[in-house]
Structure 1
């Protein structure tokens, strides 16, 4: 029972004092020349704003603590990739692909799209979105522009070889596909293990595409226990159980197969480095592992039937006291903890086989 109920946010409140005192901006040149981001609403910074979709966050109370206000980020402030950009030494956040006009694309682009998944069909009931393979196609378009900027494909590849590629996707393939039986039939077609195999096969194809256009440093992020997200608890938790065990169990094969993929690709592509960072494992085995985290459905904004914040309603005043901002997404403080964990994980077996701070030095 303890394993099922240990939320990936475990110990976050113990971390508050530490993170409130940290200064994330690193002086000097960035540790990598560019930072390219692929994913879903955990990383989206505005790519969905002009799409015909209900999965948008370009309105209050989202962005209440972000310097520019609402931007399309599904939280009160910065996301994990924003904090990582600071830790890596960049003086600006990566712009959304949808709005790279005037941006220095050599320094990176954010392709993440809310409601998207590894599979094209995932999240389509929300409306338009940009699935992983389309995000990769968008990156190829950016690579073409980089080729022109640097005057040759050889110079562009030399630049991209040194950049960091961050991929955090797959959650929606479960909560907005496999376990949403009223819209999708994937759970009828596949067992959890078979489904994980399908997802990782498609995932691997997209990683190979990125490698073919110059990517060499990959940070892949594992899926957290989805059954402990407020929206899932409200909809599917059984009486007496704080989380949805079925959902937590289902993502384990995915993370295991992703780890095996990392092993295989590190052998198959000796010119590259792939790492898998399991945030849930890191937070549950690091210095906060013995802290009990209260699990529940209490969130920081008034949510609608879709689990997202109702537009223009006020957020809670004490935004560091509730781990979730809406029914799916964390507060900035939790994302800061995630970023710190991914960047420099505790010296245990939590980051496989290393963390981002080591990866960028290779």
Structure 2
């Protein structure tokens, strides 16, 4: 499955050139739909009553349109994937998409603070569009697609050729289980029980997505938020770069999601699910590979970094660090654009066999 280091490095170089959009062959799929949290949000939270917003400087300092709601200094991971899939433009947020053309090419439903559980982030950040709400929004869009294309059969055929990515679950820990002052889940569940409960609910949500017409779905596991500036500052470490017991939570969840891929592929014979090892991919950057700094500090200034309240965004209007092309983390928890370039390249065209299971996104496109 791995394409080899030379091809992978060339892919990263291609992605880093902001003026280059489509890669060889043009648009590879008719549409791309995105579900998830702030790692994937590109503007759905801009008008919500929430602290999880990124529509102000220094967010977007390296983005052509400035601060748009992406929780990074430039492009996020799904922007990169849209580029690799050959789309001429970024996939628009559901909150602002209007035209039939936009809707037919796909939408981004992701929301900062969103979780698998509906209550996640509500007591700490404010409003969020949970995974269940994102699915309801998608169902309404499917009705519009049916109207645009003329009937359900045509819509189903169209949707079956699309790529779907889903990345969710981080907030169910960061803004739920790990904040016992605000949420009861850590008193209700052991870490093992919580991972089971989360993935059981997640399984039902993914089956709902399948029943809505999705057939090519890439699931992103949880990334190394145990190594983020916010986690390290709030919880401390025992001589390692990361908070080890939080890493254990991540491993419990990710292992179950990887098993869930097998379960869904066995149960839903005409669907193709795959798992992307976000922890392994981004974790290699935390360890300082390929010139990235081994540094747990955020590139932008974050207020109250050590406070256990889940708010880890940039202070408005302050100048960020100069070395952001070498940084893994942009603010208290979100990756830099450079890290997103790296992660998208390996998700699309696996460098290691462990990057994707059972296949990478470029293979999913061809199935």
Q: Same fold (TM over 0.5)?
A: yes
User: Which residue pairs with 2:90 in the alignment?
Assistant: 93
C-alpha distance in structure 2 between counterparts of 1:18 and 1:54, whole Å: 35
> 2:360 matched to 1:355?
yes
Residues 50-129 of structure 1 mapped to structure 2, 5 A cutoff: 50-102=47-99, 104-124=102-122, 125-129=124-128
Unmatched 5+ residue regions in structure 1?
1-12
In the other structure, the counterpart of 1:8 is: none
Q: C-alpha offsets along residues 251-280 of structure 1, whole Å, 9 cap, x if unaligned?
A: 111111111111011111110100001122
Distance across 2 between alignment mates of 1:349 and 1:53? 36
Q: Greater shift after overlay, 291-300 or 236-245? A: 291-300
Q: SS at 2:56's partner residue?
A: coil
Residue 311 of structure 1: how far off its partner (Å): 1.1
Comparing 276-285 and 147-156, the one that deviates more: 276-285
Does structure 1 residue 246 correspond to structure 2 residue 245? yes
Asked if structure 1 preserves the Cα contact closer than 8 Å seen for 2:327 and 2:339, the reply is: no
Structure-2 separation of matches of 1:98 and 1:236: 35
Q: Secondary structure at the match of 1:98?
A: coil
Q: Are 1:282 and 1:345, in contact at CA under 8 Å, matched by a contact in 2?
A: no
In the alignment, what sits opposite 1:6?
none
Counterpart position of 1:334? 339
Q: In the superposition, relative to structure 1, how do residues 321 and 281 fare at CA in structure 2: closer, same or farther (>3 Å)? A: closer
Shift of 1:224: 1.7
| Cα distance in 2 between the residues matched to 1:294 and 1:300 | 11
Pairwise CA RMSD of aligned residues?
Answer: 2.3
Task: Measure the CA separation in 2 of the matches of 1:24 and 1:227.
Answer: 33
Q: Does 1:325 align with 2:356?
A: no
The match for 1:298 is 297
**Distance in 2, Cα, partners of 1:251 & 1:309:** 25
The 8 Å contact of residues 45 and 112 in structure 2, kept in 1 or not, is answered as: yes
Q: How far off its partner does 1:118 sit?
A: 0.6
- TM superposition shift of 1:300: 1.3
- Structure 1 residues 347-356 or 62-71, which shifts more? 347-356
- The alpha carbon displacement at 1:350 in A equals 2.8
Deviation string, structure 1 residues 9-58 (Cα, Å, up to 9, x no partner): xxxx9x98786469552255411111000000000000000000011000
Distance 1:228 1:296 in 2: 10
Residue 285 of structure 1 contacts residue 350 of structure 1 at CA under 8 Å; is this kept in 2?
Answer: no
SS at match of 1:30: coil
Aligned partners of 2:23, 2:172: CA distance in 1, in Å? 35
Asked whether the equivalents of residues 282 and 346 of structure 1 are also in contact (C-alpha less than 8 Å), the reply is no
Q: Measure how far apart 1:282 and its partner are.
A: 4.1
Structural mapping, 1:140-289, within 5 Å:
140-238=139-237, 240-282=239-281
Indicate the SS of the match to 1:99.
Answer: coil
CA distance in 2, matches of 1:35, 1:63: 23
**What is the distance in 2 between the residues matched to 1:290 and 1:240?**
20
Contact 2:54 2:69 in 1 (8 A): yes
Bigger Cα displacement from structure 2, 77-86 vs 275-284: 275-284
Q: Tell me, in whole angstroms, the C-alpha distance in 1 between the residues paired with 2:290 and 2:326.
A: 15
* Kept after mapping to 1: 8 A contact 2:111/2:130: yes
What count of residue pairs does the alignment treat as equivalent? 348
1:139 corresponds to? 138
User: Secondary structure in 2 aligned to 1:257?
Assistant: helix
Q: Give the distance between the partners of 2:48 and 2:131, measured in 1 at CA.
A: 16
**Worse-superposed segment, 205-214 or 351-360:** 205-214
Deviation at 1:348, TM superposition (A): 2.2
Cα displacement (A) at 1:79: 0.3
Q: Which residue of 2 aligns with 1:3?
A: none
Secondary structure in structure 1 of the residue aligned to 2:95: helix
Give structure 2 stretches of 5+ with no counterpart: 1-8, 305-310
